Amino acid sequence: MKRILFSLLIISTGLLNAQNNTSYWQQHVDYKMDVDMNVENFRYTGTQELTYTNNSPDTLNRVFYHLYFNAFQPESEMNARLTSVPDPDARMTMNKGTKENPEIVSRISELSPAQIGYLRVNSLTQDGKELQYEEVGTVLEVELAEPILPGEKTTFNMQFEGQVPEQIRRSGRNSTEGIALSMSQWYPKLAEYDFEGWHADPYIAREFHGVWGDFDVKITIDKDYILGSTGYLQNPQEIGYGYEQEGTKVKRKGDKLTWHFVAPKVHDFTWAADPEYIHDKLVAEDGTVLHFLYKNKEELKENWKKLQPKTAELLAFFNEHIGPYPWDQYSVVQGGDGGMEYAMLTLITGERSFGSLVGVTAHEMAHAWFQHLMATNESKHEWMDEGFTSYISNEAENVIMGSSSPNPHTNSYRGYYYLARSGREQPQTTHADRYAMNGLYGASAYSKGAVFLAQLEYVIGEENLAKTLNRYYDEWKFKHPTPNDFIRIAEKVSGAELDWYLTDWTQTTNTIDYAIDSVEEKGETTTVILQRKGLMPMPVEVDVTYANGSEETFYIPLQMMRWEKPAEEEVKWTVKDDWAWGFPTYQLEIPVAKESISRIVIDKSQLMADINRDNNSWDKSGEEDSSN
Ligand SMILES: [Zn+2]
């Protein structure tokens, strides 16, 4: 018995030392913050007590905090990038010239000292000991007084102050729609340390990665301000504004109110405040309380009321197709500069058509799963949060808006094709800040990222993809999954080998191009010569329409998958010999005379992202018809 225990101990220690995802661990934080906001000058002061648990197998001698608001200063790295990238974000620039002679300048460059953002640390201790630290742009570098050993906890106490910048990007004061405070990335936030080491990324453009934990936050602010926030309000009877128990009276005391929120198991904490918010609530089918906060303006009301039942439908769709939303509330709040996802909350601009309002809510709410539950590192694997979110929100919108399109991802495919043919594509492994242009990031993360999943349906089948998403949720919620973690789930669910798919699609700019080279008659059989012209491998489905109107699909497995896709469709499904990637051509034998065939098409579903569809079809009438 003892011997068995001893060998078990060795095995588990061995696993702990093997630094890859076969032995998953993650750090843990517990934040307690108390902040006081001055709504006249947009300055705030705060205290932060942070209990940090080092679950890594490593001893830590330093830690890092993000000071995101420091990006909104004329001398910042964010501004340097903004003024040097060829296609700056239009929200971050303004035209100082005329329409005819435009002079586009950075809005950050124009900020006065009273308008910039900043976040300053005034004191910091570790278990009572003063710490040495240095503010380096948007990152605070901290030398620890005592190393944090594996498995140990330490407590940091901090005093900090900040100034909310004019809204330039995502957060800030006085948004274009007049929202007073959009408070995201507003507090000193501990950087994540994981199996790849520290992620103390400077705030240049995008995006975020954080440590999982529990938040307890008190926000003191002028009593006229109404808040939407991450977490659950602990003192609704002192606050009111629609948070109180229905039918009860609330007595507010003093000039300021202290809003007390707790948020369990999140990696971010965001809030917004405005004195003119309307606050509506809707309890969804699963019991989640949906909060809607928007400006009290006549022209907004109709769309924002109609949005509410649609949000409940979206929640139900994501619950079913990904996994149950685990928190008790979700808030849709007018704020920010477009749409951005946060824990239990989104900030969206609100002056939109109804379709656009539902569209942005669908996208941001889907991020509650693909970022706030399966929390990928958005800087490293931007396609996993933006792409997966785009995929599932396209699917959801298609259903709840009643469009019922057979392929709701056509815009994503279009975006990807444009990118692939541009000659400027960079692999999806590019850090999100380091694309040559913003547009290249967008097409890669959103469009090519959505196609990753839509095309995976072609590769492993609809049912396997659906099961993969559910199992991804089951195994990776409240964690930090990597691309390999996702593809391993798809492999385990389907049984197919899929490493090639992850490698070629996400780590290279290889493209897919399969072609029908020729169709030859040999007596009572027809030989179709297929060609692989692109470098990226794929299984090939050849759809044949016979002269009598019947249809048949010939499925050519990709040999390196060591697997065959199960037949799904109504049409006749015939599995042919494997195609090994190294062979540039393949002979497909169809056991009928050529005159009995009217049309041959490679992948009529168009889910395979073939960059040249002109060579995918053959028509009896035109022989080389390319009108697919
Ligand atoms: Zn997004």
Per-residue pLDDT tens over the stretch 82-122: 999 999 999 999 999 999 999 999 999 999 999 999 999 99
Looking up tokens 């896709």, which residue turns up? 565
Q: What are the phi and psi torsion angles at 327 (to 5°)?
A: -95, 170
**Residue 22, CA distances (Å) to 12, 15, 36, 197, 482 in order:** 11, 7, 44, 16, 12
Using the mean position of ligand 1's atoms as its centre, give its distance from the Cα of residue 337 in Å.
13
Using the mean position of ligand 1's atoms as its centre, give its distance from the Cα of residue 363 in Å.
6
Residue type, 584: P
pLDDT along the chain (628 residues), means of 10: 43 42 88 98 98 98 98 98 96 95 96 98 98 98 98 98 97 97 98 97 95 98 98 97 94 94 98 98 98 97 98 98 98 96 97 97 98 97 98 97 91 98 97 97 98 98 97 98 97 98 98 98 94 98 97 98 90 96 98 96 97 97 56
Please, how many CA atoms are within 13 Å of residue 301, restricted to the half-sphere of its CB? 5
Using the mean position of ligand 1's atoms as its centre, give its distance from the Cα of residue 340 in Å.
7
Using the mean position of ligand 1's atoms as its centre, give its distance from the Cα of residue 341 in Å.
7
347 - beta bridge partners? 333, 340
Q: What is the model's pLDDT at position 22?
A: 58
318 contacts 369 by C-beta, under 8 angstroms: yes
Is 321 known as a binding-site position? no
Using the mean position of ligand 1's atoms as its centre, give its distance from the Cα of residue 129 in Å.
41
For residue 445, the 8-state DSSP code is I
Instruction: Check 364, 378, 425, 457 and give the catalytic one.
Output: 364
Looking up tokens 């790295």, which residue turns up? 77
378 contacts 206 by C-beta, under 8 angstroms: yes
Closest CA to 48 of 140, 137, 113: 140
Please say if 552 is a catalytic residue: no
Residues 6+ positions from 547 with CB-CB distance below 8 Å: 595, 596, 597, 598, 620
205 contacts 433 by C-beta, under 8 angstroms: yes
Using the mean position of ligand 1's atoms as its centre, give its distance from the Cα of residue 68 in Å.
19
Q: What sign results for the dihedral spanned by CA atoms 21, 27, 28, 29? A: negative
The number of beta carbons lying within 10 Å of the beta carbon of residue 251 is 7
**Full-model pTM:** 0.94
Closest CA to 391 of 417, 410, 404, 418: 410
SS (H, E, C) 297-348: CHHHHHHHHHHHHHHHHHHHHHHHHCCCCCCCEEEEEECCCCEEEECCEEEE
Is 386 known as a binding-site position? yes
Q: What is the model's pLDDT at position 10?
A: 40
Q: Helix (H) and strand (E) counts for the chain?
A: 13, 33
Using the mean position of ligand 1's atoms as its centre, give its distance from the Cα of residue 410 in Å.
18
Closest CA to 339 of 313, 368, 297: 368
CA distance 157 to 189: 13
Please say if 446 is a catalytic residue: yes
Q: What is the model's pLDDT at position 23?
A: 87
CA distance 584 to 586: 7
CA distance 7 to 9: 5
Q: Which stretch of DSSP H or E encloses residue 602?
A: strand 597-602
Is 367 known as a binding-site position? yes
Using the mean position of ligand 1's atoms as its centre, give its distance from the Cα of residue 348 in Å.
11
CA distance 337 to 164: 15
Q: What is the model's pLDDT at position 383?
A: 98
Instruction: Check 446, 473, 501, 586 and give the catalytic one.
Output: 446
CA distance 546 to 173: 65
Using the mean position of ligand 1's atoms as its centre, give its distance from the Cα of residue 373 in Å.
14
Using the mean position of ligand 1's atoms as its centre, give its distance from the Cα of residue 381 in Å.
13
Burial of 38: CB neighbours in 10 Å, binned 0-12, 13-18, 19+: middle
Using the mean position of ligand 1's atoms as its centre, give its distance from the Cα of residue 203 in Å.
17
